[in-house]
Amino acid sequence: MSTRESQHPASSGSEPTYSPNTTAAEFLTVDEAAAILKVPASTVPAWVRSGRMPAYKLGPRATRFTHELLAEFAAARLDRGKPF
């Protein structure tokens, strides 16, 4: 299966990939990601801009996430002993 790289700054040195079969229903908005991570909605874009959090940039104003991407981000933060 082929993958395509997203257009964002990666925090772990490698950019996340997604399947061309990913549907719009599988992508999460900034507000949904913030609710899952239990942080203010303004924190998520700040993390993405600083390169600390990976995201899928689907356009100039469309930033999206997947459950898998959030789980990997959360696990990496906790492995380094950093809270959100």
Q: Give residue 41's pLDDT.
A: 95
Q: Break the chain into its structural domains and give their ranges.
A: 26-79
What's the CA gap between 69 and 53, in Å, rounded? 9
CATH code linked to domain 26-79: 1.10.1660.10
Model confidence over 8-54: pLDDT tens digits? 444 444 455 555 556 666 899 999 999 999 999 999 999 999 999 99
The two tokens of residue 41 are 């909605």
